[in-house]
Chains A and B, each alone.
Chain A
Amino acid sequence: MSGEQTFLLDGKEIPFRDGDTIMDAALRAKAYIPHLCHNPEFAPHGSCRVCVVDIDGSNVSACTQPAAPGLNVDNSSTAITDERRALLQMLFVEGNHICPGCEKSGACQLQAVAYYTNMLAPHFTHFFPRRALDASHPEIAIDFNRCILCELCVRASHDVDGKDVFAISGRGIGSRLVINSPSGKLGDSTFSATDKAAHVCPVGAILPKNKGYEQPIGKRLYDQQPISVVGDVAAHEQEGDSHGE
């Protein structure tokens, strides 16, 4: 029976299974709900709030909200898009996101979702936080300026790699990603470029070293088609790996 259950997403019927969230069902049906901290390989997190949808006048995060028969989910009204854009703008001003100088530009999910919501400027006052860059690891560099606290690397290192290389410290606006090593540096940790945690960052915070701009600007994942069509960058990165790129 469970295969026949459906809910409405922007008026379109979406089938779902028992235990699905709205996001699970939408991803399977290839209906795009913008998101950043969600990656279907990991347990839902619900922290970025970019997947906010409206159900009967209440805002919920699609990645954590259980699907239920007959729900009427609004994923694209002006109000929802405005909220998402404001949340993205907040993420932009919280860190230091200088797209023209970022190796991830064009394949960055934050940037791609921002385009998708027609974000033209960061709007809010920049925080301009002073954050360090950690280039101590031979294979991977971390630029904390770009971290959006999605905790995907934290989750991947814990759930998949079994290493707990990353953790969140601080509180509130002082929350920050930290590295589990005696010096607090990545080079001093057990991290490896083959770790799952090295391939889940939706932004340009965790980047491979010793190569750059192999794919020219203009030919990158989100340069050709919008994120609503091509999906998460992490999924493509794994494909790339499996093809030996």
Chain B
Amino acid sequence: MQEFGNVDEFVGQLMAGGGKHPGQLLQYLYALQYRYSCIPPHAIELLATQLQLPAARIHGVIEFYSFLHTTPRGAYDILFSDSITDHMLGSRELLAEFCRLLGVQPGEPRGDGRVSVDVTSCTGICDQGPALLVNGWAVARLDADRIEAIAALIEAGTAVADWPREFFDIQDNILRRDLLLNDTGGAGAALQALRERGADAVLEALDASGLRGRGGAGFKTATKWRFCCEANAQQRYVVCNADEGEPGTFKDRVLLNSYADRVFEGMTLCAGLIGASEGFLYLRGEYRYLQAPLDAVLERRRQDGLLGSSILGEDGFDFDITIHMGAGAYICGEESALIESLEGKRGVPRKRPPFPVTNGYRNLPTVVNNVETFMAAARIAVDGADWFRAVGTGESTGTKVLSISGDCSRPGIYEYPFGVSIAQILEDCGGTDAQAVQVAGAAGSTVPASEFGRSIAFEDCATAGSLMVFGPQRDLLDMVQNFAHFFVHESCGFCTPCRVGGALLKDLVDKVCAGRAGDYDLQEMQAIGDLMRNTSHCGLGTTAANPVLETLHKFPEIYKQRLAGGDYGPAFDLDAALEEARAITGRDDAGAHLKVES
């Protein structure tokens, strides 16, 4: 029986800090997880009593988030990033070697409780992978030497805080700058502009700029802010979606690392325009290392009168921002699931309508925007609509910050005017021999070389920023399989087509990969994918089958070459399935085997 020291005291401290609010549940659980490497049973009892929540509901929250556990992980809990780009950089081989060095099986803590090793969805370090998380802290650029060094540190019992600093060095890797990333302006400029020009003029500029949400959906930002402003309520909220979970996306990590002032400025601008006094930055758990620096930026802004009460000395302009940590759930990037998570619940997307602009956080009007959107809004307030509109296309004004990874010689962050062609991007990043690029991540689209003339824009290839390059040596089916498994892992489980359909689809992809599928299975994949796309509750479910549907259509040969032949065959080896019966009966003669027809 594991002993957990001072649980009462620790929970008491959490309650004192968080004001005993049930909405803080996820934050409490996050703190407990990293203190005890699990949520101790006694802590659940205490939380249930103190927060007046059913214990079963707390269990439900714990089991929803990948980073929370009811049984202890190892003292060193290692999670290898399992993105397809990490695979391409050799992560699986490194994981196997790491487990061998430590004598541990993936998924199970070692007998002595020292270490546990598992995989996690994309950690957003794809341009300098393979990557892992150790107790939530990101380590980049893994190779055989680094793996060996980490194993030695673990065996020696060296505290993670004392590991070599360079292990935790995560680079920005900005390789192309445009409107946003060229920014050298000082903090507070957008708020000054708001004071000088007035709310109407700034909102007008935002409208005229044509700025659309950078999270992928592309809703017009000024319209969203106006709707929220016009909703009848005493209180409104501003939420920045920094749950950057789409595989292959890492630009928000860089924006928050080096442009946090601009992002918070955009949020504060929004608060000033819509009349909000409270805001949240929902930061994905994988970016734990950004939490303290971001808190420091917030504190500095409070000191400088750019946050808190009477911002810029203006009576009644009160606004503050709190960072909320996610805990391993891709679905929380969906804005209504994010709001549920902010409220300390399971991240299950809400019914729409109503939309968050009228019924968001605590059922009050809420603006949820992407990191990059807030940053762009802050710049538009200063530099105006024309400055922004001068680049991009008619429907997609301004620039897009892309996260480029995969088979290219210069992976990293590239900011381009909207309308840039994929061919141009590949030339710049050194990926011209690509057979395909995956635009917009696992939920996005697979673009074959014949379509590299297409452009990054809402009206063509829309993306929140993920662009993964696949060279000629790759089997795209590996990508499809990786994404199919990803979506099964990340489905919230609320609706039938995504929960069950996604799992069925994954099994069929595995069957193709195992060389056991027939034509009938491909038709089934198409039918299940169509059903998921047509009938799912939220955007995750409607897009989860995209990788399968897109590649079935555009790359049929990757499937055909793996087919077993014939119309239908079982997903397993019939003769191998008889092994147990042979062992029990002690027979291994020809009659105890199925005849293999050639």
Contact = CB atoms under 8 A, between A and B. Distances in A.
Interface of A: 44, 46-50, 52, 59, 61, 64, 66, 83, 86-87, 90-91, 93-94, 124-125, 127, 149, 164, 166-175, 178-182, 184
Contacts of A172: 488-493, 499, 502-503
Given A171-B63, A173-B502, A87 B535 contact: yes
Nearest to A84: B535
Contacts of B531: 83, 86-87
A168 B502 CA distance: 19
A210 B270 CA distance: 62
Nearest to B542: A59
A166 B502 contact: no
B537 A166 contact: no
A46 B351 contact: yes
Nearest to A167: B56
B56 A169 contact: yes
A178 B491 CA distance: 19
Nearest to A90: B500
Nearest to B511: A125
A89 B418 CA distance: 44
A90 B571 CA distance: 18
A49 B60 CA distance: 22
Nearest to B498: A172
A127 B351 CA distance: 28
B319 interface: no
B537 A47 contact: yes
Given A83-B531, A171-B64, A164 B57 contact: yes
Contacts, number: 114
19 contacts: A83-B531, A93-B500, A124-B500, A125-B507, A164-B57, A167-B60, A168-B493, A169-B56, A169-B59, A169-B64, A171-B63, A172-B492, A173-B493, A174-B63, A175-B493, A179-B56, A180-B54, A180-B55, A180-B56
A229 B500 CA distance: 29
Interface in B60-108: 60, 63-64
B60 A169 contact: yes
A173 B54 contact: no
A170 B503 CA distance: 15
For the complex of A and B, list the 4 residue pairs with the smallest distance between their C-beta atoms, beginning with the closest: A175-B493, A180-B56, A90-B500, A167-B56
Given A48-B495, A173-B503, A66 B353 contact: yes
A167 B44 CA distance: 15
Given A94-B500, A169-B56, A178-B56, 5 more contacts: A59-B535, A93-B500, A149-B499, A171-B64, A172-B489
Contacts of A48: 495-496
A179 to B, nearest CB: 6
B495 A49 contact: yes
Contacts of A179: 56
A172 B486 CA distance: 11
Interface string B344-381: 00100001010000000000000000000000000000
A164 B499 contact: no
A208 B55 CA distance: 25
A161 to B, nearest CB: 12
B137 interface: no
For the residues of B in contact with A, the DSSP-based class is helix
Interface string B522-544: 00000110010011110000000
B56 A166 contact: yes
Contact of A49 (B63, B489, B496): B496
A157 B445 CA distance: 43
Interface string B431-452: 0000000000000000000000
Contacts of A61: 537
User: Which of A59, A91, A167, A181 gathers the greatest number of chain B CB atoms within 10 Å?
Assistant: A167
Nearest to B537: A46
B494 interface: yes
Nearest to B501: A90
A168 B60 CA distance: 6
A33 B299 CA distance: 55
Contacts of A50: 496
A102 to B, nearest CB: 20
B497 interface: yes
B57 to A, nearest CB: 5
B353 to A, nearest CB: 7
Interface in B471-498: 488-497
Contacts of B489: 172
Nearest to B506: A173
Given A166-B56, A178-B59, A149 B534 contact: no
A182 B497 CA distance: 33
B497 A90 contact: yes
User: Which of A49, A52, A170 gathers the greatest number of chain B CB atoms within 10 Å?
Assistant: A49
Contacts of B536: 49
A171 B491 contact: yes
B151 interface: no
B504 interface: yes
Contacts of A44: 351
B123 to A, nearest CB: 19
Contacts of B353: 66
A90 B504 contact: yes
Contacts of B488: 172-173
Contacts of B493: 149, 168, 170-175
A57 to B, nearest CB: 10
A61 B494 CA distance: 14
Nearest to A54: B534
Nearest to B59: A169
A196 B55 CA distance: 21
Given A91-B500, A170-B63, A173-B488, A83 B537 contact: no
A97 to B, nearest CB: 13
Contacts of B535: 49, 52, 59, 83, 87
